[in-house]
Chain A
């Protein structure tokens, strides 16, 4: 099946610094990837839709200047949390659509971000 990887799996950074999270589709090309945020034992909140070669589409309430998304190739999307603060600490998950004819998404394992 389709495999989505994320790197790093865990990251700790100091307040005020930026951190980049990578999302890769390993055995398929993904024209569309999605970035979610998940709080403990809560649902996934869609942050943005990332499309290869174009600007990301952000959900209402998500700061595009704080959460920079780049989808440079058909197998890689990156999320950069700029000037991170402790409230940005969370579990970030990416997903990718495999089949343009289906809305099924495959999910990465997630990245635990801790801002100290």
Chain B
């Protein structure tokens, strides 16, 4: 069974501070991992995926298979980063269905 855990429901930081949103997963094979973001009153949108190894809006995430983690990081948070962030995993079964974590609400204070 595949499972994604985001231990922090709420995370608050001040503008300019580093931010790390934690994500741990459980899956026996080689998963594909994603971070999705949902800004206020907007649809869910892809932020980044591990296979791209890219940085979007200053965010990066490294897949650590040893720790089964895929934490999302940004060195200097901005107020516009305030949103709900979801970590998601696809195990390659069932037409690629995604399993989502519980989500973390990030609030960046001025």
Residues of A within 8 A of B (CB): 32, 34, 41-44, 46, 49, 51, 57, 93, 95, 97, 102-110
The answer to whether B57 has its CB under 8 Å from any CB of chain A is: no
Instruction: Report the separation of the CA atoms of residues A110 and B94 in the bound assembly, to the nearest whole angstrom.
Output: 23
List, sorted by A's number, 23 A–B pairs whose CB atoms are closer than 8 Å: A32-B95, A32-B96, A34-B97, A41-B84, A43-B86, A43-B101, A43-B102, A43-B103, A46-B97, A46-B98, A46-B99, A49-B94, A49-B95, A51-B95, A57-B94, A57-B95, A97-B96, A102-B32, A103-B32, A103-B98, A105-B46, A107-B36, A109-B42
Output the nearest chain B residue to A32 by Cβ-Cβ distance: B95
B residues near A (Cβ < 8 Å) are 32, 34, 36, 42-46, 49, 84, 86, 90, 92, 94-103, 105
| Pairwise interchain contact A108-B43, C-beta atoms closer than 8 A | yes
**Which has the most chain A C-beta neighbours within 10 Å: B34, B36, B46, B96?**
B96
